[in-house]
Chains A and B, each alone.
Chain A
Amino acid sequence: MKFEEILSQHKPALVKKWFHLVLRTYPEETATFLKNENDPFANPVGATIFKGIEDLFDGLIKEGNHKQISSFLDRIIHIRAVQEFTPAQALSFIFMLKKVIRDELKKEFKEKELFDEFLTFESKIDELALAAFNRYVECREKVFELRANEVKNRYSGLVRRLNRIPKTPEEKTKSKSYKK
């Protein structure tokens, strides 16, 4: 059996374990809720993380293209980039997949002499981590851009008004507001 097939076969158990590890980064009361509520609108964080890591798992074993994998990463990172985490904690979820696979399948890979493939796969997880780092920084930059935009929006109307103030005598005779 090929390396990817073994992973595929164990997918439900691996994704579940991965999910539970990610949930452990939240306080206990929160983790219980995130795990048990299935409605994606009542529990957007839990639902997004579960769907996200499931898609990431598929993307990793099916040689998905980079753009697709980036979009799977995107949703989880958007959330964790604004939650109460340090940057390392926010991205720790990627490395948890290593732990899950090592705990569950390392022995099997050794027995079946698939250790080289295992190491290659771990390198793919490392690449994923680098891609996640890019996305994380983009999200953080976005937060600060939004702060700056807030301030600009407050004054955009004023700027429009300033631009309307007639500057030449011709403009003054044209402007209805300034006739008075």
Chain B
Amino acid sequence: MSELDGVPKPEELLKIDYQPPRKGWMDTPVNFKPGTYNYPAASKNHKILELPFPREWSPMEEDWKLPENWKEIVVNGIAERLSKYRSFKVFMDICVRCGACADKCHFFLGSGDPKNMPVLRAELLRSIYRKEFTAAGKVLGKLAGGRELTPTVIKEWFYYFYQCTECRRCSVFCPYGIDTAEITMIGRELLYLLGLGINWALEPAAKCFMTGNHLGVYPHTLKDTLEFFADDIEDITGVRVEIPLNKKGADILFVTPSGDYFADPGTFTCMGYLILFHELGLNYTWSTYASEGGNFGLFTSHEMIKRLNAKIYAEAKRLGVKWILGGECGHMWRVIHQYMDTMNGPADFLQEPVSPITGTKFENAKSTKMVHIMEFTADLIKHNKLKLDPSRNDKLKVTFHDSCNPARAMGIFEEPRYVIRNVCKEFYDMPENTIKEKTFCCAGGAGLGNDENMEMRLRGGLPRGNAVKYVQEKHGVNRLACMCAIDRATLVPLCDYWAPGVQVTGIHEMVANALVLKGEKERETDLRGEPLKELEE
């Protein structure tokens, strides 16, 4: 027996068929390959949030330790949601499989996996709905697009509902307005009924529930962190900024994602806010409890969104502010804009937001009483209230990534571009079908931005990376600006792989670099501590 036994002979090599086997999607089981799925949520986090069936389990193992009556739980769970959410019922019935959404998902475009076509992702759940809840499906089964609910289906749900970033690009193209993100949300809720969640979403939710923010940062740590930023700012600008914390009677409560004060490069954006507010002399406050704008409840369940978001109005009430200003975050704005009012409102103890600097009434925020910082800053620039020196950003050639939620859930397109154009000289938009309401996701939102899922993130990040690469080659772009804390973390590896040389920045980092402060010293570095003029290598 030679050691080469089992190795194909040259003539056999030529017979290799590279074509994947032809099988229907229902008969193609999921392959859990490291790098393409998310680690399960730790049981301690299920316990903190009082979610059912906490246990340790692994997607790589055959037995997921499902509860004995798992099937009944799922079917009842679907029934409950069909009666509770009219939208879910409509989305289950109305799809005509026209295919308009099929090629719009970044995960499909990057991975080439047909089950990432939004229509097919929805079909994973719809097929069970047909079998269990429609007459045709009950009688005709597969012929009517129905299928049996088996543990294999549950595994498929776990794989594919955590391969959707709930970015809602597909819904822009659906003639019926089917929102696959909402189907994914329901799919995840059903999985949580069986104790199946992912840790990258559930741990932040659990920490948020305990301390107010995703990172579990306690009040004294938040204070320390912001003081450190003040030290850095003083070194760079010569100006000492104040850090108002839990200040009762302030005009404005400022709420931002914890990513801004915890992880680079978001920290530089956070320093940007502090500098801007100082220069304006704004009577505002941070809250050590509403110390998180992000809401990983959105990636868990509707109930969880409500539970975690309640602190924002509660703190606004306790501190007696007039209105709320929100930082550069993505999914936070979907929650604020589309859920907060009805879930946690009415905020009748707050006033309709008015900028104390320009007198502008933010009528769009009349009901929620919460203003996006990009509207606030754009308004300041429009009224000529900021002294800006864009030449301090001369080393930057900037493009802008519309974050999915502010773009598609708020329609905020022009304000960030207006601000960027005023604080730097070179700005180039990416191609039209990759920005604004058609923007491509970073592929790390909705709880998927963890390192174990990196390969899948890179697949999903390909369409965005491809567009960044294009402006990099055409215009020499070296900065990708965004206004979302998740983006500021997830676009870094995305650029590093698909468009190496492009760095990621928040917008208020650039604003603060350009902002001329009263009494400042001559600036030698930007907020990153890097020289203002030449490019870093």
Taking beta carbons and an 8 Å cutoff, which residues of A are in contact with B?
Answer: 21, 24-30, 33-34, 37, 39-45, 48, 78-79, 82-84, 89, 92, 96, 142-143, 146-147, 149-151, 153-154, 156-157, 160-161, 164, 175-177
Chain B residues with CB under 8 A of A89: 18
Partner pick for A30 among B16, B31, B113, B492, CB 8 A cutoff: B113
Residues of the B chain whose Cβ atoms lie less than 8 Å from the Cβ of A176? 230-231, 234, 240
Q: How far is the CA of A82 from the CA of B107 in the complex (A)?
A: 12
- Which residues does chain A contribute within 8 Å of B70, judged by CB atoms? none
A42 engages B112 (CB within 8 Å): no
- Residues of A near B277 (CB, < 8 A) are none
Q: CA A178 – CA B413 in complex, angstroms?
A: 43
- Apart from A29-B102, A30-B108: 17 A-B pairs, beta carbons within 8 A: A26-B20, A27-B112, A33-B103, A40-B466, A44-B462, A78-B497, A82-B455, A96-B18, A143-B455, A146-B497, A149-B493, A150-B450, A150-B454, A161-B225, A164-B228, A176-B231, A176-B234
Q: Give every chain B residue within 8 A of A45 (Cβ-Cβ).
A: 109-110, 112, 462
Which of A24, A92, A96, A146: most chain B Cβ within 10 A?
Answer: A146
Interface of A is mostly: helix
User: How long is the Cα–Cα vector from A54 to B111 in the complex, in angstroms?
Assistant: 22
Distance between Cα atoms of A136 and B18 in the complex (Å): 18
Whether B458 contacts A82 by the Cβ 8 Å rule is yes
Whether A146 contacts B240 by the Cβ 8 Å rule is no
**Contact, CB under 8 Å: B117 / A29:** yes
* Bound Cα distance from A84 to B263, whole angstroms: 31
Q: Does B33 contact A (CB under 8 A)?
A: yes
A41, B467: Cα distance in complex, Å: 7
Contact B466 A44 (CB under 8 A): yes
- Indicate if the CB atoms of A157 and B20 lie closer than 8 Å: no
Contacts of B498 in A (CB 8 A): 78
Nearest chain-A residue to B35 (Cβ)? A143
> For residue B31, which residues in chain A have a CB less than 8 angstroms away from its CB?
84
Chain B residues contacting A24 (CB-CB under 8 Å) are: 18-19
Note all chain B residues with C-beta closer than 8 A to A142.
496-497
A85 to chain B, nearest CB (A): 9
Q: Which residues of A contact B114 (CB under 8 A)?
A: 27, 29-30
Which single residue of chain B is at the shortest CB-CB distance from A159?
A: B264
Could you name 25 residue pairs across A and B whose Cβ atoms are closer than 8 Å? A25-B18, A29-B102, A29-B114, A29-B117, A30-B113, A33-B102, A40-B466, A40-B470, A41-B467, A78-B497, A82-B459, A82-B497, A83-B110, A92-B16, A146-B496, A146-B497, A153-B492, A154-B263, A157-B267, A161-B224, A161-B225, A161-B228, A164-B232, A176-B230, A176-B234
Q: Give the one of A29, A44, A48, A149 with max B CB within 10 A.
A: A44
**B255-270 vs A: 1/0 string, CB under 8 Å?**
0000000111001000
Closest chain-B Cβ to A113's Cβ sits at a distance in Å of 24
Residues of A within 8 A of B108 (CB): 30
Alpha-carbon gap, A132 to B225, bound state (A) = 47
Using known A-B contacts A26-B20, A33-B103, A40-B466, determine if residue A147 contacts B497 with beta carbons closer than 8 Å: no
Contact of A41 among B113, B231, B434, B454 (CB under 8 A): B434
- A42-B433 in contact given A78-B497, A146-B493 (Cβ < 8 Å): yes
**Chain B nearest CB: distance from A51 CB in Å?**
12
Q: Is the interface of B mostly helix, strand, loop or mixed?
A: helix
Q: What are the nearest 5 A-B pairs in CB distance? A: A44-B466, A146-B493, A150-B451, A30-B112, A147-B451
CB-defined contacts of B231 to chain A, threshold 8 Å: 164, 175-177
Most interface-central of B18, B117, B450, B452 (chain A CB within 10 A): B18
CA distance A174 to B246 in the complex (A): 27
Task: List the B side residues contacting A48 at CB < 8 Å.
Answer: 466
- On whether A151 and B112 interact (CB within 8 A), knowing A33-B103, A143-B458, the answer reads no
Task: Give the chain A neighbours of B22 by CB distance below 8 A.
Answer: 28
CB distance from A39 to the nearest CB of B (A): 7
A48 to B230, CA, bound (A): 47
State in angstroms the CA–CA spacing of A153 and B110 once bound together. 25
CA of A126 to CA of B490, assembled, Å: 37
Which of A42, A150, A176, A177 has the most B CB atoms < 10 Å from its CB? A150
Using Cβ atoms and an 8 Å threshold, which residues of chain B touch A149? Answer: 492-493, 496
B463 contacts chain A at the CB level, 8 A cutoff: yes
A117 to B231, CA, bound (A): 70
Closest residue of chain B to A142 (Cβ to Cβ) is B497
Q: Is B227 an interface residue (CB 8 A)?
A: yes
Q: Does B359 contact A (CB under 8 A)?
A: no
- A residues less than 8 Å from B230 (CB atoms): 176-177
Residue of A nearest to B450 (CB): A150
Q: Are the CB atoms of A37 and B103 closer together than 8 Å?
A: yes
Complex Cα distance A77/B63, Å?
A: 36
Query: Min CB distance, B355 to chain A, in Å?
Result: 31
A139's nearest neighbour on chain B, judged by CB, is B497
Distance in angstroms from B203 CB to nearest chain A CB is 13
Please, which residues of chain A bring their CB within 8 A of the CB of B492?
Answer: 149, 153
Given contacts A83-B459, A150-B451, is CB(A143)–CB(B109) below 8 Å? Answer: no
Q: B497, A156: Cβ atoms under 8 Å? A: no
Which has the most chain A C-beta neighbours within 10 Å: B112, B225, B267, B493? B112
Q: Does B431 sit within 8 A of A, measured CB to CB?
A: yes
**Is B398's beta carbon under 8 Å from chain A?**
no
A153 touches B263 (CB 8 A): yes
Q: Does B191 sit within 8 A of A, measured CB to CB?
A: no
Q: Within the complex, what minimum Cβ distance (angstroms) separates B351 from chain A?
A: 34
In the complex, A105→B5 CA distance in Å? Answer: 34
